[in-house]
Amino acid sequence: MSYINEKLDYIISQNPNETEFHQAVSEVFQYLGPVIEKNPEYKKYNIIERICEPDRQIKFRISWVDDSGNVQVNRGYRVQFNNAIGPYKGGLRFHPTVNTSIMKFLGFEQVFKNALTGLPIGGGKGGSDFDPKGKSDREIMSFCQSFMTELFHHIGPDTDVPAGDIGVGAKEIGFLFGQYKRLKNAYQGVLTGKSINYGGCLARKEATGYGLLYFVDEMLRQNNISLKDKTVCISGAGNVAIYAAEKAISLGAKVLTMSDSSGYIFDPMGIDIDLVKEVKENQRKRIHEYINVRTNAKYFSGKFEWNIPCDIALPCATQNELDEKSALNLLKNGVTAVAEGANMPCTPEAIKLFLDNNILFGPAKAANAGGVSVSAIEMSQNSVRQVYSFEEVDSKLKNIMSNIFEKISTVSTEYSLNKNYLAGANIAGFIKVADAMIAQGVV
Ligand code: GLU
């Protein structure tokens, strides 16, 4: 058995039942054979095992009182995965599916994603099985205050800087920040994704979606394809999906679909993004409301199976949403490119189909790194007590995304895996973190 496979078996046996974590580790490991061969130091310093073990995992109880006066209990997490490159950095996810495996897969991914940005940020992730859906603002505030009352012991602007993820937006970040400030009596850049009027960064909200499109544009251009007039299917209707759609439209593409956990909309005339924003951001309603206004659009309830013909597919909802069956639908309909806006949205079987059929594939670690990149800009802005304009941040973001593409493309060629951007991202991210770990000794 190869060195890498032996290590993979060992890591799986040490972390039983953590299927999403196994999936994320396997995705990186499949490309590491030649990397280890070329750099025997990684073996000598047992980087493979060290990089898969989080520096620290915190798990805690969150008690809070709902509007009926009942005491509720949830579970909170923060996985501080690796700080070889900078303070732990990564979002908080509030969703009923949150568990140790999900937290660890997200934390692991974040380490390499953050490394690819070229900015000084390590990787971490956190969250809770709390479901913000249907909760009043007072309930969300009560939960967030209780969550932070434990979390504040473990974070800090030079230690660990959380942000948002699924279920955590500017509102939740505000409640968390207010409680941190009260407990510490310190006004620090300890969270990113804050509102603009108290230290937030312009373009942070748009960053993941815009960044995804800058990446896709770069990937297409390097392959002599233009985004203009292409059809795009997007899943999700959260922050990532909305701003991916907005940027795709502004770059001349036509967006056909968006979805939520109940169903999806298909607008053959092209999605009206202002209407989506009105439904999702202002009214905070479900996506099917869209067809009440755009009567030529259709709503289908149930899982979106990517069965609408398109040139470009952008899964922007959640992990493992795009499976083998969906991938076959996309292939049958002649898809050209797929890029991951969510974290690990394509199953390994789906990815294999894309790569085997020479579909341009932009992996999450690279393609959705725009959000955390602008978070790092927010951190630096807070440190120097400065504010950058929207245009400044947007142009930095564009630059970062094109550097990421350039880097992973070069590395894929170096390892004779030309145009396999998944390989390029995993190898480039790994090497950066591994080299920093070796330089800092056995810690
Ligand atoms: N949750 C986002 C991600 O998956 C952003 C993290 C951050 O801004 O720290 O990368």
Average pLDDT of 31-60?
A: 98
Query: Would you say residue 221 lies in a domain?
Result: yes
CATH code: domain of residue 319: 3.40.50.720
Domain count for the chain, please give it.
2
Q: What is the DSSP pairing of strand 312-315 with strand 337-339?
A: parallel
Give the ligand 1 atom nearest the CA of 368.
Answer: 10
H helical segments located in 237-369: 239-250, 273-277, 290-293, 324-332, 348-356, 364-367
- For the entire predicted model, the pTM comes to 0.98
Query: Would you say residue 16 lies in a domain?
Result: no
User: 182-226 pLDDT, tens per residue?
Assistant: 999 999 999 999 999 999 999 999 999 999 999 999 999 999 999
Let me know whether 183 and 209 are in one domain.
no
Query: Would you say residue 47 lies in a domain?
Result: no
> Distance between CA atoms of 427 and 37, rounded to whole angstroms?
13
Q: What are phi and psi of 85, to 5 degrees?
A: -105, -20
In this structure, what DSSP letter does residue 278 have?
Answer: I
CB of 375 sitting under 6 A from ligand 1: yes
User: What is the average pLDDT score of the chain?
Assistant: 98
Ligand 1 binding pocket mutation candidate from 77, 375, 377, 381 (most atoms within 8 A of CB) = 375
**Domain end: 126, 153, 188, which one?**
188
Let me know whether 209 and 355 are in one domain.
yes
pLDDT at position 49, please?
A: 98
**Domain end: 367, 390, 415, which one?**
367
Q: Does the annotation mark 125 as catalytic?
A: yes
User: 347-368 pLDDT, tens per residue?
Assistant: 999 999 999 999 999 999 999 9
Query: Would you say residue 391 lies in a domain?
Result: no
Marked catalytic residue, from 125, 194, 398, 407: 125
Let me know whether 143 and 212 are in one domain.
no
CB of 4 sitting under 6 A from ligand 1: no
CB of 126 sitting under 6 A from ligand 1: no
User: 125-137 pLDDT, tens per residue?
Assistant: 999 999 999 999 9
The residue segments making up the domain with residue 304 are 205-367
User: 49-59 pLDDT, tens per residue?
Assistant: 999 999 999 99
Q: Given the structure tokens 């969510």, which residue do they identify?
A: 342
User: 248-297 pLDDT, tens per residue?
Assistant: 999 999 999 999 999 999 999 999 999 999 999 999 999 999 999 999 99
CATH code: domain of residue 183: 3.40.50.10860
**Domain end: 128, 162, 188, which one?**
188
User: What contacts 112, CB < 8 A, 6 or more positions away?
Assistant: 28, 123, 365, 425, 426, 429, 430, 433
CB of 344 sitting under 6 A from ligand 1: no
Q: What is the DSSP pairing of strand 56-65 with strand 71-82?
A: antiparallel
Let me know whether 175 and 230 are in one domain.
no
pLDDT at position 294, please?
A: 98
Q: Given the structure tokens 């990089």, which residue do they identify?
A: 51
Let me know whether 171 and 234 are in one domain.
no
Let me know whether 266 and 238 are in one domain.
yes
Does the pLDDT value for residue 1 go beyond 90? Answer: no
Q: State the DSSP string of 211-265.
A: HHHHHHHHHHHHTT---TT-EEEEE--SHHHHHHHHHHHHTT-EEEEEE-SSEEE
Let me know whether 214 and 363 are in one domain.
yes
CB of 318 sitting under 6 A from ligand 1: no
